[in-house]
Chain A
């Protein structure tokens, strides 16, 4: 069966510090991968998605970046965090495209920027 891991679970970082969040998927090959951010009490904002190694699409211009160095690894980074980067970061995967686009979410990382 497929599983998705995210770490760390929680993170408190000062403004201006770098960020690296990691997501890995097991039990599937060539998944589509997604990074979302959720502000407190709000909906899901799609940040990046990837359909393959090295292929990243950015949905929202910001000081964040994403990379996919391996088929089942997705990394979210920032060189300098802003206060507005605080939120709940969720990684998700799906298989294929077209009709079947169900997404399966990881446990998330709660980031607080102080």
Chain B
């Protein structure tokens, strides 16, 4: 079946450093979504990418969808303590999505 892999599993950064998490699929995806889960909270939808090579930005967050639509990345510029949490990607070849295991980000002030 389809698998969605995320790396790294954990990332510890100093406040102000950049952070990137990567998502890779074994199959071509029709779209990919990114979610953020704060400690103790539930996943919250951030963004969806649909087109090959698509790049979207939300303030300090940059999301990319690979040309082959099999991988994606989330990059945070100049992390802040409010960025802590687990970031999940979810890929959908068709219909329901498959979630990666997430990357947990901790930020030292």
Is B95 at the interface (CB under 8 A from chain A)?
yes
**Selected interface stretch from B19-27, B42-50, B57-65, B74-82:** B42-50
- Of B41, B48, B94, the residue contacting A102 (CB under 8 A) is B48
Is B28 at the interface (CB under 8 A from chain A)?
no
Q: Does A106 lie within 8 Å of B42, measured CB to CB?
A: yes
Q: Does B33 lie within 8 Å of A105, measured CB to CB?
A: no
Q: Which residues of B contact A98 (CB under 8 A)?
A: 30, 94-95
B31 closest partner in A (C-beta): A99
| Most B CB within 10 A of own CB, among A43, A49, A94, A107 | A43
Number of A-B contacts (CB under 8 A): 55
Q: Does A43 lie within 8 Å of B48, measured CB to CB?
A: no
Per the CB 8 Å criterion, the residue count for chain B at the interface is: 24
State A44–B33 Cα separation when bound (angstroms).
Answer: 14
Min CB distance B34 to A, Å, is: 10
Q: Does A97 lie within 8 Å of B94, measured CB to CB?
A: yes
Min CB distance A52 to B, Å, is: 13
Instruction: Tell whether A108 pairs with B100 under 8 Å between CB atoms, given A44-B88, A99-B30.
Output: no
Residues of A within 8 A of B (CB): 32, 34, 36, 41-44, 46, 49, 90, 94, 97-108
A-B contact pairs, 18 of them (CB 8 A): A43-B88, A43-B101, A43-B102, A98-B95, A99-B30, A99-B50, A100-B31, A100-B48, A101-B33, A101-B92, A101-B96, A103-B45, A103-B90, A103-B97, A104-B45, A105-B44, A107-B41, A107-B42
The 9 closest A-B pairs by CB, nearest first: A43-B101, A97-B95, A105-B42, A44-B99, A101-B92, A108-B42, A105-B43, A101-B97, A43-B102
